[in-house]
Amino acid sequence: MLTLLKLLKDGRFHSGEDLGAALGVSRSAVWKQLQSLEAELNLPIHKVRGRGYQLAEPLYLLDAEDIAKRAPLLAWPIHISESVDSTNAEALRLIGAGHSAPFLVLAERQSAGRGRRGRKWVSPFAQNIYYSLVLRIEGGLRQLEGLSLAVGLAVMQALRDLGVDRAGLKWPNDVLVDGKKIAGILLELVGDPADICHVVLGIGINVNMQDVAGVDQQWTSVQLEIGGAVNRNVLVAQLGVQLQRYLNSHQEFGFVALQEEWELNHLWQGRSVSLVAGVNQIHGQVLGIDSRGALRLSVAGVEKTYSGGELSLRLRDDS
């Protein structure tokens, strides 16, 4: 089916006869494959007598060579799958199989994409970016302090490079546009974080998604924000460039070098919030973050700091 999809990806009409000739199959076999594309990948296909078949929207399939040409200074091997449970899970399997870091895992779709706190990440075929970069970390816990926030800066900047000018940050791992989520980050560790470990930088970006069921929060996409479809290879390449820049700074100087920039782009700076930890809620006002990326809140007039992967920040109704 992927071969047929590559023939249709330009969004133009193609006759059944031409598609059959290119695939070396009958027109009837082409019709069956088209039905499978619609059913399995949820890709609407227009059928017009006398003209043939056309995807409702052009597709930009992921292409490692195209990405490498657009970001020639990146030396990360790229693994692209048509479908995986999640790119983070695939990355962890590749680490277990002995693949040397750094390397990048991409997928056209995820069958079990996940976000922070076990939330489902909706992952339609060939519409968004499902991205996991694996790094080898040496030197102990300092190399991990504020790392997810540094990644957030890279994602935000890559989106702004494409024209999503209002993209900003929400502590700890979200990128928002006008209160709607456009990207999320999930870091996972394997190994000894106090010595040598691998970290998977999982990034999901809504790119060309326009309508989807199953998302339990307000969301937007690059296409909705800039008014046109985006070649995802361009965004993957630009994200790699920005990640390399911010990761190099983080490795050399620590997160403290990025602290001020992150605070300047925090959309909820100064806002009244509720910090949710399990069944408990802490109400306060956002003061910023500290040099390790922990959240600074004014709680009943007293400054307190909070960090941890199971925390969630929400705006208060009166904010």
Question: Does 305 carry a binding-site annotation?
Answer: no
In angstroms, the CA 39 to CA 118 distance is 28
Q: Which of 70, 116, 170, 232 is flagged as catalytic? A: 116
Question: Does 3 carry a binding-site annotation?
Answer: no
Three-state DSSP string of the chain: CHHHHHHHCCCCCECHHHHHHHHCCCHHHHHHHHHHHHHHHCCCEEEECCCEEEECCCCCCCCHHHHHHHCCCCCCCEEEECCECCHHHHHHHHHHCCCCCCEEEEECCECCCECHHHCECCCCCCCCEEEEEEEEEECCHHHHCCHHHHHHHHHHHHHHHCCCCCEEEECCCEEEECCEEEEEEEEEEEECCCCEEEEEEEEEECCCCCCCCCCCCCECCHHHHHCCCCCHHHHHHHHHHHHHHHHHHHHHHCHHHCHHHHHHCECCCCCEEEEEECCEEEEEEEEEECCCCCEEEEECCEEEEECCCCEEEEECCCC
Q: Which of 51, 69, 117, 314 is flagged as catalytic? A: 314
Question: Does 70 carry a binding-site annotation?
Answer: no
Question: Does 86 carry a binding-site annotation?
Answer: yes
Q: Which of 70, 109, 170, 181 is flagged as catalytic? A: 181
Query: Residue 19: phi, psi to the nearest 5?
Result: -65, -40
Question: Does 115 carry a binding-site annotation?
Answer: yes
User: In the beta sheet, which residues pair with residue 46?
Assistant: 54
User: Other C-beta atoms within 10 Å of 192: how many?
Assistant: 10
Question: In sequence order, what are the residues at sequence separation of 6 or more whose Cβ sits closer than 8 angstroms to the Cβ of residue 233?
Answer: 60, 62, 63, 66, 67, 70
Six-digit token string for 205: 């970006």
> Could you confirm whether 314 is annotated as catalytic?
yes
Residues marked as catalytic: 116, 181, 314
- Binding site listing: 86-88, 110, 114-116, 181
- Give the annotated binding-site residues for biotin: 86-88, 110, 114-116, 181
